[in-house]
RNA sequence: GGAGGGGUGGCUGAGCGGUUUAAAGCGGCGGUCUUGAAAACCGUUGUAGGGCAACCUACCGGGGGUUCGAAUCCCUCCCCCUCCGCCA
């Protein structure tokens, strides 16, 4: 969310930013609403001031046994007027609040301008895609032969976009989770295991609500939302808190299952593990001082990359252009891993700096040493990494001609075997 | 699921319709004293919005109501604690 005063004072800059992001939002109504709101605010505050002083006076008179009926009658009128104005204010604030909640973040100046994903820019590449002396298979074919992922039974038990992991498949899922958490915690990230059902306030705090309700699973009674990413519960750990400067930066890492409706993705990635309603992910979350956040974004991205390097999986890093960025983000790097079965790079991690966008919504502030007042922290997060997609990458990159899969060196202590057969 | 108790400033904890602009203590910060520290003593101590200076307004779990006036009374929702029941 952007600050109302900021929007008021930077309306032209905001217009340009929205154009770059392909957002068509009419800003003209906002300014007049704000004008009305501030005028009403001034009026009600003046009336309250009058009521406060006169009410005190009435109290004094009554204690002295004097008659205060005239003042009481007058204040009755003042109170009615206050009520009337507050009613109007509430209506206006409802409108401006909704308006602000639906404005996306402003892209950082270093983000390339572009209309959609075709204009994202590659930043770097790591590793050489392996050359095969046979035609590499898709992971679902590999998995079927090895009997380690069961899509049919996943569909029977739950539905489309669900899978059952079996034997070495289940073990591989767990091995990846442990490797990632071990690597992240060794770099100073504190391990968190949060609730995966959360309330409405938390979803609003990180920006999923109110705009993206259709992409979430919801439990009806009592009402909860299933998290689409650990970003939600972990960022909300510090909702409505004032942190001390010396606590920053805070690094958290969390494994959680993630749940996504994938509404509107019909026909996309219908086969395999790439796009599931339920998937596992290890997440990295940071809270930083504003002046540190872009440096921390580079470090966070590098920490996610380190896992792919450890697994010897080729990847590239791209910076998302203004037209392809997420709603809450000011800058996003996607890490894409090489998938021989699809002969292309696929997203395996998304690392973003939200600046103070989430912090303002979730009211996460900090106090500088020896300075008056508070400031919003900057929040960042990134996958480190999506486990299901990493498993796909391992299967496809380490497959052999005979249908078996070599276990990457780094995973052997966790798997207890060298080859999945 | 049943019964009861409770949510007040960084923490503990009073207040239960108008000298409370939220008492007191602890903690924090500044000062006096001291070679230094501790103790003692004095002062200070939240957040947000509006004017951006004095100042004003709001905030005692959230929302609504009664009243000239609400932390205090009423309604409603949420959360926490204790006991019973059930149960990983």
Separation between Cα atoms, residue A286 and residue A189, nearest integer Å? 9
- Which residues, in sequence order, are CB contacts of A91 under 8 Å at separation 6+? none
Q: Is the peptide bond before A385 cis (omega within 30 degrees of 0)?
A: yes
Catalytic pick from A48, A218, A275, A412? A275
- Give me the pLDDT at residue A192, please: 94
Nucleotide lying nearest to A41, CA to C1' measure: B50
Catalytic pick from A260, A346, A361, A365? A260
Contact flag, residue A88 CB and nucleic strand B, below 7 A:
no
| A389 labelled catalytic | yes
- Give me the pLDDT at residue A326, please: 93
ipTM of the complex model: 0.86
CB A136 within 8 A of CB A341: yes
pLDDT tens for chain A, residues 1 to 421: 788 888 888 888 899 999 999 988 888 888 899 999 999 999 999 999 999 989 888 888 888 888 888 889 899 999 999 999 998 998 898 888 888 888 999 999 999 999 999 999 999 999 999 999 999 999 999 999 999 999 999 999 999 999 999 999 999 999 999 999 999 999 999 999 999 999 888 998 898 888 888 899 998 877 889 999 999 999 999 888 888 888 889 999 999 999 999 887 877 888 899 999 999 999 999 999 999 999 999 999 999 999 999 999 999 999 999 999 999 999 999 999 999 999 999 999 999 999 999 999 888 888 887 777 788 999 999 999 999 999 999 999 999 999 999 999 999 999 999 999 9
- Give me the pLDDT at residue A25, please: 85
Separation between Cα atoms, residue A79 and residue A44, nearest integer Å? 10
- Give me the pLDDT at residue A27, please: 83
Q: Which of residues 203-222 of A touch strand B (CB under 7 A)?
A: 222
| Backbone dihedral angles phi then psi of residue A31, each to the nearest 5 degrees | -60, -40
- Other C-beta atoms lying within 10 Å of the C-beta of residue A228: 20
Whole-number Å distance, CA A362 to C1' B81? 28
CB A356 within 8 A of CB A391: no
| A383 labelled catalytic | no
Contact flag, residue A22 CB and nucleic strand B, below 7 A:
no
- Give me the pLDDT at residue A383, please: 96
Which tokens belong to A223? Answer: 């009402």
- Give me the pLDDT at residue A223, please: 83
| Backbone dihedral angles phi then psi of residue A11, each to the nearest 5 degrees | -60, -35
Separation between Cα atoms, residue A111 and residue A398, nearest integer Å? 35
CB A408 within 8 A of CB A393: no
């Amino acid at each position: 969310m952007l600050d109302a005063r900021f929007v008021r004072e930077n309306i032209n800059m905001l217009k340009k930013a929205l154009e770059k992001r392909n957002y068509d939002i009419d800003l003209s109504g906002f300014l007049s609403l704000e004008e009305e709101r501030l005028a009403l605010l001034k009026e009600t505050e003046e009336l309250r001031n009058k009521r406060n002083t006169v009410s005190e006076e009435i109290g004094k008179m009554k204690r002295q046994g004097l008659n205060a009926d005239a003042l009481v009658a007058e204040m009755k009128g003042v109170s009615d007027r206050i009520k009337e104005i507050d009613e109007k204010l509430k209506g206006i604030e409802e409108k401006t609040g909704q308006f602000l909640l639906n404005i996306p973040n402003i892209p950082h100046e270093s983000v390339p301008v572009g209309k959609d994903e075709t204009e994202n820019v590659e930043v770097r590449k790591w590793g050489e895609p392996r050359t095969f002396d046979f035609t590499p298979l898709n992971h679902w074919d590999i998995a079927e032969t090895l009997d380690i992922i069961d899509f049919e039974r996943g569909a029977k038990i739950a539905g489309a976009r669900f899978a059952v992991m079996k034997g070495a498949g289940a073990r591989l899922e767990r091995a990846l989770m442990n490797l990632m958490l071990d690597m992240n915690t060794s770099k100073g990230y504190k391990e968190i295991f949060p609730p995966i059902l959360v309330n409405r306030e938390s979803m609003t705090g990180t920006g999923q609500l109110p705009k993206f309700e259709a992409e979430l699973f919801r439990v009806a009674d009592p009402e909860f939302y299933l998290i689409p990413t650990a970003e939600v519960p972990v960022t909300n750990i510090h909702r409505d808190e004032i942190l001390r400067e010396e606590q920053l930066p805070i690094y958290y890492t969390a494994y959680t299952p993630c749940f996504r409706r994938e509404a509107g993705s019909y026909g996309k990635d219908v086969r395999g593990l790439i796009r599931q309603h339920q998937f596992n992910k290890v997440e990295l979350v940071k809270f930083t001082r504003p002046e540190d956040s872009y440096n921390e974004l580079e470090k966070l991205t590098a920490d996610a990359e380190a896992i792919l390097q450890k697994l010897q999986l080729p990847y590239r890093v791209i910076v998302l252009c203004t037209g392809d960025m997420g709603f809450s983000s000011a800058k996003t790097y996607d890490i894409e891993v090489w998938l021989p079965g699809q002969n292309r790079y696929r997203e395996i991690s998304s690392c973003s700096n939200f600046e103070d966008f989430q912090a303002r919504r979730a009211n996460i502030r900090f106090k500088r040493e020896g300075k008056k007042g508070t400031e919003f922290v900057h929040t960042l997060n990134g996958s480190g990494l999506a486990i299901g997609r990493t498993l796909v990458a391992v299967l496809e990159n380490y497959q052999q001609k005979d249908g078996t899969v070599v276990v990457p060196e780094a995973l052997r202590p966790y798997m207890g075997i060298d080859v999945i057969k």
